[in-house]
Structure 1
Amino acid sequence: MSDTVTGVSKKTKERVSTVPSGVAAGDNPRRPCPCGSGRRYKACHGAADAAEMIVARPFEGLLAETELIALREFVPSATVPLTLQQPVDGVPSITLATVLPAAAAALTRSDRSILLGMQVQTHSGDLSRDLAAALEWALAAEPSSVLPVVGRATEGKRFQDLVVNEPFDVTVHDSFGWWLEAEPEPGSEVALSLERANGAIMPTARVADLPGVYWVDAGEKAHLRWVRPEDEAPLMAALARLSVDDELDLGDGSRYVGSFRAHGRLVPVWDLDRDAHPSEWDGPAKEFAARLEKALAVDEPMTSAQRRARDGILGRQFTLR
């Protein structure tokens, strides 16, 4: 069975400018670090513990930043076709995926097509650099190879340096059948492993084709999780204005419950009526998006009621685990 997603998006594509991500041995360690942190290189990625440093926004600058965060954090089974800035002969397709068998970092199929995993063990503190390292490994690997984990690295290219900067064309799956090139033998260990993996998938759907917006059935409740692109301060102010105007929910059968932080962005969460079909939230989500844009555009000091609402919203943050 071939890859579930093999084509590339026909949307307008914009190249990412390549930013140097390392300093040669002879360079001045007191110069600003090329990662853009503002620190000197010797106190940043040139430090002895650089491999432990956490990059707060690993996908900053990418049009698909919110989708990358969703695929990393809570979407169980999804794939996205990728386009390289510099295509490589003999590689028919590159597919970014939520999770691969055994949480592998990358694998190549028999035809040298590539699958990259988002939900993997992280080693460098920079998810973007880990993903780029896995991609570079796969581009050079033999067919039918597997990269279990990415080694520790303080230098090297980042995801932004390798792929075309474009919105993602995400396909959400209800199984992990796309893992395999051919149907497994019934009762085989592969078939049993696939069955176990499929049994752990939480039903998930995109909402209104909006970036970073997903309906998730977590069992007792259904949720809408929305990775927002804005910085936290203006987003919190806008949510507070909507709260004071009683416009923070998504309509009947919904309730705003809080938010969590993921890779430098905020993810608001709503409880939803579990009996409603995911598509029933398309309209309410679009209407909320319009209300939020208007609230974000307000350039006036917050009222005392809005400040109290903001403080209450800040107190409703939680960790998704």
Structure 2
Amino acid sequence: MARSATRRKPSSAPAAEGGAVNPKAPCPCGSGRRYKHCHGSGYAPPVTRPFEGLPGEPDWVALRELVPAATAPLKTTDGRDVTLASVLPGGAPALVRANGEIMLGVQLPASSDDVSRDLGTALAAALEAPTGAPVEPGPIGAAGSAGPRLQELLDLSAPLDVTVHEDFAFWLEGTDPSPAAKAGLEQANQAVLPTVRLPGLGAAYWVRPSDERAHLRWVRPEPEEKLLDALARLSASEQILLGEGTRYAGAFRAHGLVVPVWDLPADTLADDWTDAATDFQARLEQALTVTDPLTSDERRARAGLISRQITLR
């Protein structure tokens, strides 16, 4: 759950000469801070769901936080093709290949309170960069960035079609790589965990971090409170598991969406979990339609689910 905080009531801040807010007075927003350290400093609240409004919002979250090597085609509002990548060499925000292909990396080493604006700033710079030249988007992740958001640059009618790769070979496709580039690729590939996107189930990703364990990480599109109620109902009725040998491990919150996680036997292939996950999807959809108040058992189950939930972003 989101951290609660006691907020002071909005106050009428004393005006400075000329009608401006006195910078030393409490901020009128009620934060309790001085105006000069709050809205007077150009403060803007964090964007809780930076990918909201983009097709495939759960997959944007997955590529940003969960998936090591994946790509997806994008199209800008003026019809230009862009390749979205989970990560680019060196954590670069964007690059333009010699053949003119634009690549945008969603996993950045630094970010501001609006990841969509960070990525939009990088994409805008790439769209203006000459072919084969380094992209210089400026300080990505800097507070107060005035660059565009992804929602302003991308064609929102184009679906997000994600392809998961076994390694980062797509970095060098169509290029004549140097020995240093090949060595960098080999080193990066050593960190790639086996990952599979289960077909027909949205942003449901199987991953095997070791020979002893595997997980299903499923970025859900539902509002958090409604989803937690539905999961609590399934947990109380012992319908939250995916089958024998599985365990509901908990969930984390990333970019405004909830990501339930199950522990799975490592010796079962990813494709073998599609049917079990499809059955769970049906149970969850049914639970989401229930509007009755939670029973005492369901409330206890909900509390247990929340105790195992953490926030990444």
TM norm. shorter chain > 0.5: yes
Separation in structure 2 between the aligned mates of residue 123 and residue 207 of structure 1, nearest angstrom: 29
Whether the aligned pair in 2 keeps the contact of 1:122 and 1:150 (CA below 8 Å) is no
Q: Which amino acid aligns with 2:199?
A: A
2:123 is equivalent to residue 135 of structure 1: yes
Q: Which amino acid aligns with 1:204?
A: T
| 1:262, distance to aligned residue in structure 2 (A) | 0.3
Query: What is the match of residue 288 of structure 1?
Result: 280
Q: Which amino acid aligns with 2:51?
A: F
Separation in structure 1 between the aligned mates of residue 83 and residue 197 of structure 2, nearest angstrom: 18
2:85 is equivalent to residue 97 of structure 1: yes
| 1:316, distance to aligned residue in structure 2 (A) | 1.2
Whether the aligned pair in 2 keeps the contact of 1:213 and 1:225 (CA below 8 Å) is yes
Larger Rg: 2
Q: Which amino acid aligns with 2:274?
A: D
Query: What is the match of residue 162 of structure 1?
Result: 153
Matches within 5 A, 1:1-321: 47-50=40-43, 53-88=45-80, 93-147=81-135, 150-151=138-139, 152=142, 153-165=144-156, 166-180=158-172, 181-182=174-175, 184=177, 188-219=179-210, 220-318=212-310
Greater alpha carbon shift after TM alignment, 201-210 vs 121-130: 121-130
Whether the aligned pair in 2 keeps the contact of 1:106 and 1:147 (CA below 8 Å) is yes
Q: Which amino acid aligns with 1:99?
A: V
Q: Which amino acid aligns with 1:281?
A: W
Normalization by structure 2: what TM-score?
0.82
Aligned residues: 277
Cα separation, partners in 2 of 1:112 and 1:225, compared to 1, 3 Å: same
Whether the aligned pair in 2 keeps the contact of 1:45 and 1:155 (CA below 8 Å) is no
Q: Which amino acid aligns with 1:202?
A: L
SS at match of 1:225: strand
Separation in structure 2 between the aligned mates of residue 195 and residue 307 of structure 1, nearest angstrom: 49
Whether the aligned pair in 1 keeps the contact of 2:125 and 2:137 (CA below 8 Å) is no
Separation in structure 1 between the aligned mates of residue 82 and residue 208 of structure 2, nearest angstrom: 29
Greater alpha carbon shift after TM alignment, 310-319 vs 253-262: 310-319
Normalization by structure 1: what TM-score?
0.80
| 1:317, distance to aligned residue in structure 2 (A) | 1.5
| 1:294, distance to aligned residue in structure 2 (A) | 0.4
Deviations 1:204-227 (A, max 9, x none): 000123221100111141100001
Separation in structure 2 between the aligned mates of residue 43 and residue 62 of structure 1, nearest angstrom: 34
SS at match of 2:131: coil
Q: Which amino acid aligns with 2:225?
A: A
Whether the aligned pair in 2 keeps the contact of 1:175 and 1:198 (CA below 8 Å) is yes
Separation in structure 2 between the aligned mates of residue 221 and residue 215 of structure 1, nearest angstrom: 11
Separation in structure 2 between the aligned mates of residue 204 and residue 249 of structure 1, nearest angstrom: 21
Separation in structure 1 between the aligned mates of residue 116 and residue 300 of structure 2, nearest angstrom: 37
SS at match of 1:50: coil
Separation in structure 1 between the aligned mates of residue 37 and residue 280 of structure 2, nearest angstrom: 40
Cα separation, partners in 2 of 1:308 and 1:130, compared to 1, 3 Å: same
Separation in structure 1 between the aligned mates of residue 37 and residue 227 of structure 2, nearest angstrom: 29
Whether the aligned pair in 1 keeps the contact of 2:254 and 2:312 (CA below 8 Å) is no
| 1:83, distance to aligned residue in structure 2 (A) | 1.1
| 1:47, distance to aligned residue in structure 2 (A) | 4.7
Cα separation, partners in 2 of 1:194 and 1:154, compared to 1, 3 Å: closer
Cα separation, partners in 2 of 1:44 and 1:273, compared to 1, 3 Å: farther
Separation in structure 2 between the aligned mates of residue 45 and residue 277 of structure 1, nearest angstrom: 52
Q: For CA contacts below 8 A with separation 6 or more, give which structure has more relative contact order.
A: 1
